[in-house]
Amino acid sequence: MSTSTNPVLATFAVFLVLLSCACDPCDDQSGTIEIDPADRTAPDLYWQVTTLTNTPDGPISALRLITDPNTNITMTPNDFVEVTLFAEDNESGVKRMNVQGGFGYTCARPDGAIALSGIIPGDNPAFFNLAEGVCGFAEAAYPSFIIDGANLCVPDHPNLVSGGYQFLGSALNNNDLIRQNFQLTVTIVSPAD
């Protein structure tokens, strides 16, 4: 007694095997890419800075994308600024991002002034790695920082005189290559400057 395989079923089975080998394992998750273990470049970084300014004619807004690794920008006490660090790696995907830095500013009243300062410690990284280790996110963003010039000072010393923030961003890809010390300095100036 001999058994014969249906040629149509055999062809279909071979087709399914070939199709499964040809499929991208990362297609089922939006925004992911297959990690290239041969990639030897760190992720690209950029800052997105959104500024809302209150003017006598009403609010105006502006959006800047900053790709320079050492940039200085200014804002006034009338500005509301949102700073976000983005990372992109189309070969290895983004695994981890972090931001650290510090800030300081002076608040005044007619009879005196106080100085306030603080640090952004950098001990709160954001992780973007996937469980299977085959796919990675091509793009990622670190949570935004808000600088509200109108509300930085305390009620006893309500006038913001000067100050600034410094942010240092970093990103690691799935091949453990890091881009770091991506710096953005925000200087607070008076509207007349």
Whole-number pLDDT of residue 18: 45
Domain extent listing, the chain: 43-188
Contacts of 186 (CB under 8 A, 6+ apart): 49, 73, 74, 75, 81, 83, 147, 164, 165, 166, 167
Question: What are the backbone angles phi and psi of residue 173, rounded to the nearest 5°?
Answer: -95, 180
Residues linked to residue 103 through DSSP beta bridges, in sequence order: 118, 165
Contact between 105 and 77 (Cβ < 8 Å): no
Q: pLDDT tens, position by position, for the chain (193 residues)?
A: 555 556 655 555 555 444 444 456 787 778 999 999 999 999 999 999 999 988 888 889 999 999 999 999 999 998 999 999 999 999 999 999 999 999 999 999 999 999 999 999 999 999 998 877 899 999 999 999 999 998 999 888 999 989 999 999 999 999 999 999 999 999 999 876 5
User: Checking DSSP bridges between strand 145-148 and strand 79-88, what pairing results, if any?
Assistant: antiparallel
User: Checking DSSP bridges between strand 94-109 and strand 126-127, what pairing results, if any?
Assistant: antiparallel
Question: What are the backbone angles phi and psi of residue 150, rounded to the nearest 5°?
Answer: -75, -20
Q: Each residue of 97-117: pLDDT tens digit? A: 999 999 999 999 999 999 999
Q: How far apart are CA 134 and CA 42, in angstroms?
A: 18
